[in-house]
Each structure stands twice: as structure tokens, then as C-alpha cells.
Amino acid sequence: MTDRRTPPRRRPNSNPVNDAVNKMSIRSRTPSLFRPRQPIGQHGLTDNRSLVDDINRRGVLRGAVSLGALTLLTGCDVSEDEPVQKALRAVSSWNDRVQAAIFRPNHLARTFRPSQVVKPPRFNAYYDIEDVKPIDGATWTLELAGRIEDKRPWTAQQIYQVAEQEIIIRHICVEGWDYIGQWSGPNLRNFFERVGADMTAKYVYFICADDYTESIDMATALHPQTILATKYAGDVLADPFGYPLRLRTSTKLGYKNAKWIKAIEVTNDFRETFWSKQGFNWFAGI
Amino acid sequence: MAPPPQPSAQRQHRLHPLPLRVMHWINAVAIFIMIGSGWKIYNDDVIFGVLHFPDSVVIGKWAQYGLQWHFFGMWIFVINGIAYLSYGIVTGRFRRKLFPISVREIFVTVGDALRFHLSHDDLTHYNAVQKILYLGVMLAGIVIVISGLSLWKPVQFSELANLFGNFQTIRLVHFLCMAAIVGFILIHISLALLVPQSLVAMLSGGPVVDDGPPHTAPAPTEFESSQ
């Protein structure tokens, strides 16, 4: 198809990523909203190590027995029973289809004013902010795979050269909290046009540097408010929020917005993702 | 010669016809699932700092299980709820049982209730407070669905979500509807236990009633004769 012919990629003259990296290195650690000011004291455990070990040895069997009894008594969680979990996941898959059916491809989420933006953004991951492993923007590349014509990897320099789209949208976490964030970076549909992605494919997979995986349906990928974000509130993304590249879409719960993306794959094969494997809803639309 | 038609025979039925009883108990299960799993979801990001539902009363050991139950239960609650409301409107049950509500009767009933003088001998007639409670819980049920849809799809159903304001306001409305329904359930179950024949009636159908002109003396019933 001729409209998928890839235009020659422009080679940047300036080096915004190196600027960004330099800026990052002089930046102090992210303000410690999420970090305890004092480490938690461990002396209680170390001072009484032998006692703790002794209790552990004696208590293990009794603990196991009473835990089992407790589970029976309280009917602790039938959700984990194989047939129940299978049924609940079947309903969750049905809900995926319902959500895809009610998705409005060109219906825009509400946007906000820059003065409403929360800085810094709220951190979320399956581990603590302390355990974020920063990515070296100078050596990072974005790999492309699957139904994409031009699979040449992109360097951060190249990605940061692409025209940006800015969206100020609400981030909603599955837990119930929300905040307004200001994100900018290449529009995903434009990026797909540029690399010749098959936009009739069903899914877009994101493989992340922290072994996280996430995927979205193609309709969401092509939504006008879906971008590959490189900046927050006008500044290059800080490490905890996905530097150098993350997904930001206005129509999904927070966990669908993959951070620290290292590869994008366009495919027709459905594969479970980090959270869907554990039973969270896959579509997770809002 | 055919026997003459009996107009009143058409209007005679059990106090709680079978479809109504089935819907009532399906609703009971759905509400149980929705509240227990809703409390689990609430615990992940509490609205009121002091309020955290103990693990022993929530449904789902982990967040994803609470979510799975909630988004399973919603189908039962909504489909059954629509069936129930349609039934109540189409058969005229709501009109007969819940209206009219006299303002004077509200004061009288509240006064009686405070002096423990409430009479429950006639299951077929709802007093003004009962009428308000039933209408109130139906309203809470409708608002909890609208706010629930707004929480689930604040972008796709933005027209609904905009009725409430920001996302946390929707959560608060959803929570307050839950609190109202829980309050209703506490009163409802307490009264059902105090007046056990009302519970029996919701299982067996209760006395035969005649939908004649309102406020006529009800026909003698099996319950009255047995007392």
C-alpha cells in the first residue's frame, strides 16, 4: 500500500536528549512525597534475632494449621477457587468486549488548564519509587516489531525530534485516585503512519524496561488523545514517570499507560499482560 | 351457560407475586456482592481517612478479585433492577402500594414509631414511612447506577459524569448511595426479623390480596386468622 511508504527519517542536528540527560543529572532526586523521611528502624528485629527465629520455627506448623482453619471458617476467599476464578475472568473478558463496543473513537476526554496541573505527577508502579531503575537516554533505543513496515529502531534523539502534541488530561488509577497531568510527545497515530504500522491490526503491545508489559486495542491507539509522552509539564520526563518514553492515553486507566517503553509491537495476537495475568481487566477503558 | 365473569378474580393475587419474590432475592444477592466488593475497592484509596472496611467483611482478598466481583455483580444488579422497576410500574404495584403519601401520615407514623406503637398486623398496607423508605432506596439504587456508570466510563459516558463534577465527587456520590442503601438494609432486616411474617411472605408469597379500590378493608388472610 502506497500510503504506508515511510518518509525518510530526518537526522537531527541538535541534540535535545543530551541536553535532557544533562538536565536530569543535575536535578536532585524527585521531591520526596512518596519517600519516608526516616528509614524504618530494624533494631527491634536485629536485637532479638534468636527469639524471632525460635518463634518462627515453633509457630510455623501451628500457624499453617490455624490459617487453614480460619480460611474454612471465614470462607476466606472463594474468588481464588479455580471454577469461580474462571467464571469471573470469563465475565471480565465479556466486559472487554462490551467496552470495545461502547468505545467512541473520536470522543475527546475533557482537557484542563495548565494551572490545574499537579507537579510532580503521582507515582504509580508495581513497586516503590525507590526501586525505579533509571534509563540511560544516550544508549536507549525504541525497538519496533510485528506488523510495521519500517522496523528500524529509534534513538531518544530521534523520538525527541518528532513534532509534539500536548494534552492536559485526568489520570485515573484503578485504585480510585486521580490527578490532572500535562503530557507531551509524538501522537501515536502519526507515529504509526510514519513507520508504516498496520492500523487494521488488533493490538499494540508495549514492552517496558522493568519487565512490565501492557497492550491496548488499536482503536485506543489511534484515538486523537493517545501519545508517546516524552515530557511532563514542559520538562523532559523524570525517571519515575517513564523517561525516556511512555504511553499516555486519555481513555484508559493508569496501569494501561506503559512507562519506560523499550519496544512496540503491532499484532493480531492477544497475549495477557502484566496486570491482566493477575486478574485485572484487560481493556480497562474509562 | 358459562358462569358469569368475576371481575374481581382478575385482581386477586398473592401479596408478593412470584416474579416479584424472585427479583427481590436476586437483588439481595446482587446487593451483597456489590457492597462487599465495593468496600474492597474503596479500601485501595479511602475517601474518609478513618474509614477502612475490615478484611473480614469485604469480598475479594486482593484488589483484582474485588473488581472482578463488582463488574460481575453490576450486570445482575442492573438487569434485575430494570426488570423490577418495569414490573412495579407496568403492573401498577408501585402506584397501589407506594402512593399517595400523606404528609400528615408521615408525622403520625414517625410519632408512633418513636413511641413503639407501630402496627405491623397488616402486611398489605405500607405506612407513610415505609413508602418513603422504599421510594428512597429505589432512588438511591438509580443514582448509584448512574454514578457507577460515570465512575466506570467517565470519558465514554462523559455526559453522565458531567452531571456530578469532578471524579472524586462521583466517588463520593457513589459512596453515599451505598451508605443510604446499607442504612435501608439495616432497617429492612431489623423490621423483617421483628415481624417474621413479613419475611415469610417474601418467601411464600403472603396473603391473597384484592387490588380493589384502595383503602378498602383487606379480605381476611391466613396470617390474621392464625394470630
- Residue at A203 is within a domain: yes
- Residue at A136 is within a domain: yes
pLDDT at residue A1, as a whole number: 39
Domain boundary among A56, A72, A88: A72
- Give the distance from residue B195's alpha carbon to the nearest chain A alpha carbon, in angstroms: 29
Q: Tell me how many domains chain A contains.
A: 2
- Residue at A6 is within a domain: no
In this model, does residue B5 exceed pLDDT 80? no
* Residue type, position A196, single letter: G
Residues of A with CB below 8 A from B59's CB?
A: 79
- Residue at B180 is within a domain: yes
pLDDT at residue B107, as a whole number: 87
Each residue of A1-40: pLDDT tens digit? 334 444 444 334 444 444 444 444 333 445 555 555 555 5
- Residue at A38 is within a domain: no
Residues B150 and B75 in one domain: no
Extract the C-alpha cell encoding A187: 501522537
Q: Do B65 and A88 touch (CB under 8 A)?
A: yes
Residues A258 and A180 in one domain: yes
pLDDT at residue A19, as a whole number: 46
- Residue at B218 is within a domain: no
- Of A90, A56, A284, nearest in space to B153 by CA: A284
Residues A165 and A271 in one domain: yes
- Tell me what percent of the residues of chain B surpass a pLDDT of 90: 70
Residues A158 and A63 in one domain: no
Q: Could you identify the residue written with the cell 413511641?
A: B115
Q: Do A172 and B67 touch (CB under 8 A)?
A: no
Identify the bridge partners of residue A171 per DSSP, sorted by sequence position: A179
Domain boundary among A72, A93, A110: A72
- Tell me what percent of the residues of chain B surpass a pLDDT of 70: 87
Write down the ipTM of this complex. 0.86
Gap between the Cα atoms of B174 and B146, Å rounded: 9
* Total Cβ atoms within 10 A of residue B68: 26
pLDDT band at residue A250 under the 50/70/90 scheme:
very high
Chain A 147-176, CB below 8 Å of chain B: which residues? Answer: 170, 172-176
Segment A94-105 shows an average pLDDT of 98
Mutate to test the interface with A, among B57, B61, B155, B157 (most CBs of A within 10 A): B155
Extract the C-alpha cell encoding B133: 423508605
Residues A134 and A207 in one domain: yes
H/E element, B103: helix B103-114
Residues A60 and A102 in one domain: no
pLDDT at residue A80, as a whole number: 87
- Give the distance from residue B87's alpha carbon to the nearest chain A alpha carbon, in angstroms: 26
Note whether B140 and B183 are within 8 A (CB).
no
pLDDT at residue B105, as a whole number: 86
What are the DSSP calls for chain A, one per residue? -GGGPPPPPPPPSS-HHHHHHHHHHHSPSPP-TTS-SSPPP-HHHHHTHHHHHHHHHHHHHHHHHHHHHHHHHHTTTGGGSHHHHHHHHHHHHHHHHHHHHH--TTPPPP---GGG--SSPPP-SSS-GGG-----TTT-EEEEEESBS----EEHHHHHHSPPEEEEEEEE-TTS-EEEEEEEE-BHHHHHHHHTB-TTSSEEEEEETTS-EEEEEHHHHTSTTEEEE-EETTEEPPGGGTTT-EEEETTB-GGGS--SEEEEEEES-----TTGGGT--SS-B-
Coil vs helix vs strand at B136: helix
In this model, does residue B173 exceed pLDDT 50? yes
Residues B168 and B77 in one domain: no
CB-based contact (8 Å) between A100 and chain B? no
A279 backbone φψ class: left, alpha, beta (φ>0; ψ -120 to 50): left
Q: Do A175 and B168 touch (CB under 8 A)?
A: no
Higher-scoring residue by pLDDT: A4, A182:
A182
- Residue at A89 is within a domain: yes
Each residue of A125-179: pLDDT tens digit? 999 999 999 999 999 999 999 999 999 999 999 999 999 999 999 999 999 999 9
CB-based contact (8 Å) between A250 and chain B? yes
Extract the C-alpha cell encoding A153: 529502531
- Give the distance from residue B21's alpha carbon to the nearest chain A alpha carbon, in angstroms: 26
- Tell me what percent of the residues of chain A surpass a pLDDT of 70: 73
Residues B96 and B168 in one domain: yes
- Residue at B175 is within a domain: yes
Q: Could you identify the residue written with the cell 471465614?
A: A74
Each residue of B41-93: pLDDT tens digit? 999 999 999 999 999 999 999 999 999 999 999 999 999 999 999 999 999 99
Domain holding A60, by residue range, is 43-72
Q: Do B64 and A280 touch (CB under 8 A)?
A: yes
- Residue at A15 is within a domain: no
Residues A54 and A174 in one domain: no
Q: Do A77 and B65 touch (CB under 8 A)?
A: yes
Extract the C-alpha cell encoding A196: 508504516
- Residue at B22 is within a domain: yes
CB-based contact (8 Å) between A107 and chain B? yes
Higher-scoring residue by pLDDT: A38, B174:
B174
Each residue of B10-25: pLDDT tens digit? 578 999 999 999 999 9
Identify the bridge partners of residue A203 per DSSP, sorted by sequence position: A217, A267
pTM of the entire predicted model: 0.81
Residues A178 and A253 in one domain: yes
Q: Tell me how many domains chain B contains.
A: 2
Residues A161 and A61 in one domain: no
pLDDT at residue B213, as a whole number: 55
Residues A53 and A137 in one domain: no
Average of per-residue pLDDT values in chain B: 89
Residues B139 and B73 in one domain: no
Q: Phi, psi (5° rounding) for residue A150?
A: -100, 100
Higher-scoring residue by pLDDT: A60, B199:
B199
Residue A144 belongs to domain with CATH number = 3.90.420.10
Sign of the alpha-carbon torsion through A219, A223, A227, A233: negative
- Label residue B135 exposed, middle or buried (CB < 10 Å: 0-12, 13-18, 19+): middle
pLDDT at residue A233, as a whole number: 97
Residues A221 and A98 in one domain: yes
Gap between the Cα atoms of A174 and B70, Å rounded: 13
Domain holding B169, by residue range, is 92-101+130-203
- Of the candidate ranges A41-55, A230-244, B47-61, B201-215, the one whose mean pLDDT is the lowest: A41-55
Residues A191 and A111 in one domain: yes
Nearest to A280 among B67, B154, B167 (CB): B67
Residues A177 and A209 in one domain: yes
- Residue at A64 is within a domain: yes
In this model, does residue B157 exceed pLDDT 80? yes
Identify the bridge partners of residue B90 per DSSP, sorted by sequence position: none
Q: Do A281 and B67 touch (CB under 8 A)?
A: yes
- Residue at A210 is within a domain: yes
Gap between the Cα atoms of A203 and A218, Å rounded: 5
